[in-house]
Amino acid sequence: MASVLSLANITKFYGPVQALNDVSFEVPEGSVFGILGPNGSGKTTLLSIILDVLKANKGNFLWFGRPGSPDQRKKIGSLLETPNFYHYLSAINNLRVTQSISGRGSAAAIDDVLKKVSLFERRKSRFSTFSLGMKQRLAIAGVLLGNPKVLVLDEPTNGLDPVGIAEIRELIIGLKKSGHTIILASHLLDEVEKVCTHVAILKTGILLTTGD
Ligand code: ATP
């Protein structure tokens, strides 16, 4: 199967701290790929590098077999930290704001993504009335605008209760079925086992193992 992302020898230092040490792996198309590791193992650093937020000291990566270009970036949706939504605006109006800033997707796409994350019925409710799980699903809806082929999510279940975690799990499984490749970082072994088809395990910046 083709790779959507190939990493080769990615190495990153923050001053004397080595956050990543020669990390290489491939993310197959159509997979739910878990980057698993404890706090401080380098997951967020790795995601920041593949999203061009940080530069590696060594190594390189290819998206869809090629070095990064703005055109390819449109195929990638990412959620590195919880976005700031307006508390007094409805879900639908918040997504209108997201859309006008990002330029991704059409007006019709907003209804579409709200349905995908099971918030269509609540589209007119204020953001402030949402549970944490609903807020996180709205954040994922924002990422889905423009229908990116690949989604990159950092700890998508952080802070959620078991019901919220299960809802995100169902959502990820549904997104995989509709053809998205999903790359997610997590420290929850159990969650990764339940939802991921492939995994890369990091410990103190070292890749311990990767595979299906
Ligand atoms: P968490 O689950 O806690 O977010 P993580 O696996 O995402 O952890 P990173 O945040 O990538 O790990 O951190 C990897 C290492 O790099 C840690 O030792 C961390 O202290 C260090 N680090 C991260 N960001 C910086 C920074 N801006 N300056 C210095 N050190 C940093």
Residue nearest to atom 3 of ligand 1 (CA): 39
Average pLDDT value for residue range 163-180: 93
Report how far ligand 1's centroid is from the alpha carbon of 44 (Å).
7
Report how far ligand 1's centroid is from the alpha carbon of 49 (Å).
12
108 falls in which pLDDT band (50, 70, 90)? confident
CA-CA distance, 60 to 24, in Å (whole number)? 9
179 falls in which pLDDT band (50, 70, 90)? very high
Within 6 A (CB) of ligand 1 lie: 14, 17, 19, 37, 39-45, 187
Q: Degrees (nearest 5) of the Cα angle 81, 160, 99?
A: 40
159 falls in which pLDDT band (50, 70, 90)? confident
Q: Order of strands, edge to edge, in the sheet holding 58-63?
A: 17-28, 3-14, 58-63
With pLDDT > 70 as the criterion, what percentage of the chain qualifies? 99
> 76-79 and 150-154 as β-strands: parallel, antiparallel, unpaired?
parallel
